[in-house]
Structure 1
Amino acid sequence: MTTACPTLRVADFATESIAIDQLATRGYVIVPNFLAREQCSQLYHYAQHLEPQAWQQAGIGRADNYTTNTAVRQDKIRWLQSDFPYENAYLEMMDQLRLDLNRELFMGLFDYECHLAHYPPGAFYRKHLDAFKGRSNRILTTVFYLNSDWRKQDGGQLVIYGDNGEVLETVLPEAGKLVVFLSDVFLHEVLAGSRDRYSITGWYRLNTSIGGFIDPTR
């Protein structure tokens, strides 16, 4: 695995009027080809070649309420850190997107946290919200996909639901695709797939910290 620091260039998301309008009016947007194929491939191979101990079983809840429950969620995760070149490159790219979103939509996004997610064959994540109104500072969820040549029959789709339980989108996890949605609005789930599936899930947050403590903690 190379340790050279990659350069990831964010797509010109903020000036794409359609993407901005969709996020502002619908509360979610799907951006194909957010990164070039070569850059996606770099991130994919980085994730693929991480040592097993670099991953942890994903859980549900946060802080004192955090627990693992494989009946609800079966992926493994790795929180991205700025100490690792590939991870830092992604974090820097998404921080630039944070600045763009604040400039275009005046959202007041303060910071960003994210993790790699590995769904082995058969793994799923049942229907859930990423935040609850008035109880979290997570504002926007982002999901970025790394697998190339993903087909419909491979499964692993992200399903986004509307207010009445209707399916709004069934998103094929294709390399380079970015999904952004309001964290406390859209129920969603990850369907089981037949292949190892890699993605990066993150959250833009508001600053509701007091006395130097991040609210909520990871």
Structure 2
Amino acid sequence: MNTLFGPDVYLDDIERQGYTVIHNALIADLVNDLVADCHRINPHFSLAGIGRLNDLQIDKTVRTDKTYWFDGSSQAQLTYQAIMQSIKTTLNRSFFMGLFDYECHYAKYTQGDFYKKHLDAFKGRSNRVFTTVLYLNTPKQGGELVIYKPKSKEIEITIKPTAGTLVMFESERFAHEVLPAVDDRYSIAGWFRKNASISGIIDPPR
């Protein structure tokens, strides 16, 4: 078992409030393996963009973090993706969401890096249904995730990055931001998606 929680830990939260925070979600060995994988591919991180495919743009006024999309090149990645697939199945069975797939990337925030308030579901492309964030380390300062109340400037919850903590929330419902990092912050950002394409064409990832 690579997880330390069952569906009862998050299903009630999601049904009641649309998000959940699961502390110590994964066994320490898997978290350590994911951190080691981050260091392995560290030279290949690239500046993150906003938008998808042909609409992808780099805008350092919006975000300055670096990312590396999972490519299945390590056992740690494959194990994490298998866990997310299991959660996807549970969400579909419990809420009839029709979730189709899961995509994710490593995210690295170094001193001063941030991601301003935004929604993860792109305009005209609302196929991202659920956002996930898994923290891989515990910075002493900075890099907090701020989730806002729906359609409001009021803060719903502020989450301090803590290794092994998994956060999940509805992508279209909750705007959120990452406050400027002070210490290095590593995480995995991911999305459960619906297939919103037409004519039988499958939505491309990212």
Q: TM-score, normalised by structure 1?
A: 0.87
Instruction: Tell me whether 69-78 or 83-92 shows the greater mean CA deviation.
Output: 83-92
Tell me the distance in 1 between the aligned counterparts of 2:19 and 2:171.
10
Please say if 1:13 is aligned against 2:13. Answer: no
Q: Contact 1:136–1:216 (CA<8 Å) still a contact in 2?
A: no
Match of 1:156 in 2: 143
Query: Whole-Å Cα distance in 2 between the matches of residues 134 and 11 of structure 1?
Result: 37
* TM-score, normalised via structure 2 length: 0.92
User: 1:27 maps to which residue?
Assistant: 18
Is 1:102 matched up with 2:95? no
1:133 CA drift (Å): 6.9
**Could you give the per-residue CA deviations for residues 136-160 of structure 1, whole angstroms, max 9, x where no partner exists?**
2110000000004x33xx1110000
- Name the CA distance, whole Å, in 1 between partners of 2:38 and 2:152: 36
Asked if the contact 1:55–1:77 (Cα under 8 Å) also holds between the matched residues in 2, the reply is yes
1-structure distance, mates of 2:189, 2:38: 13
Gaps of 5+ in 2: none
1:212 positional shift: 5.7
CA RMSD of aligned residues (A): 1.8
Q: How many residues align?
A: 205
Residues 1:177 and 2:150 aligned together: no
Percent identity between matched residues is: 44
Report if aligned partners of 1:147, 1:173 keep a CA contact under 8 Å in 2: yes
Aligned counterparts of 2:28 and 2:177: Cα–Cα separation in 1: 26
Report the counterpart of residue 186 of structure 1 in structure 2: 174
> Are 1:135 and 2:125 counterparts?
yes
1-structure distance, mates of 2:159, 2:46: 25
- In structure 1, stretches of 5+ residues that fail to align are 1-7
Counterpart residue number, 2:196: 208
Indicate conservation of the 8 Å contact 1:102/1:108, yes or no.
yes
